[in-house]
Amino acid sequence: MTIILSVVTADYAVQVSDRLLTRKLTTSAGVHYEPWDEAANKSVIVLGRDGLFAMGYTGPGHISGAPTDNWIAEFVAGEELGANQVRPEFGAIRISQGTSTDRVLAVRFPELAQWVFCRIRMMFDPVGGPRIR
């Protein structure tokens, strides 16, 4: 289970989340979950020319062989950041070329949302039920 808590006041904004990724195991005794990656991040901080924002995620721990937070960081940044390294050297990303946070939110996030919705749609076959479990 993922916990993401965000608080915004007139003076500050804070976002915190747990870090533990678990792995689902099915055995003859039933289904259980075990710790898998205790150092994962479930949030990404993005610094643009005119501000910064944080976003959190739930769901799969890896996408295309990279930890999900690193994959999201590369997707939002629109550039290679080394997401497939064992422990990438970034915790927050700075958008290159002086890109504004408005542009990131207006362009990259809709593309990210489209990717997520297409993936969700692929998970379900309208006739035969779930295809990916």
Residue 99: strand, helix, or coil: coil
pLDDT for residue 10 is more than 50? yes
Q: What residues does each domain of the chain span? A: 40-130
pLDDT for residue 90 is more than 60? no
pLDDT of residue 133: 41
Q: What are phi and psi of 69, to 5 degrees?
A: -65, -40
Q: Please give the average per-residue pLDDT across 60-84, as a whole number.
A: 78
Question: Measuring CA to CA, which residue among 79, 74, 78 is closest to residue 63?
Answer: 74
pTM: 0.66
What is the per-residue pLDDT across 25-67, written as a single tens digit (0 to 9) for each? 898 999 988 888 887 888 888 877 787 788 888 888 888 878 8
pLDDT for residue 125 is more than 80? no
For 83, other C-beta atoms within 10 Å of its C-beta total: 21
Are 34 and 23 in contact by the 8 Å Cβ rule? The answer is yes
pLDDT of residue 28: 92
Are 104 and 74 in contact by the 8 Å Cβ rule? The answer is no
Tell me the CB-side half-sphere exposure of residue 85, using CA atoms within 13 A.
Answer: 10
What is the per-residue pLDDT across 91-111, written as a single tens digit (0 to 9) for each? 566 666 667 777 777 777 778
Please list the residues that pair with 101 across neighbouring strands.
none
Are 55 and 68 in contact by the 8 Å Cβ rule? The answer is no
pLDDT for residue 127 is more than 60? no
Q: Give the chain's mean pLDDT.
A: 76
Residue type, 81: L
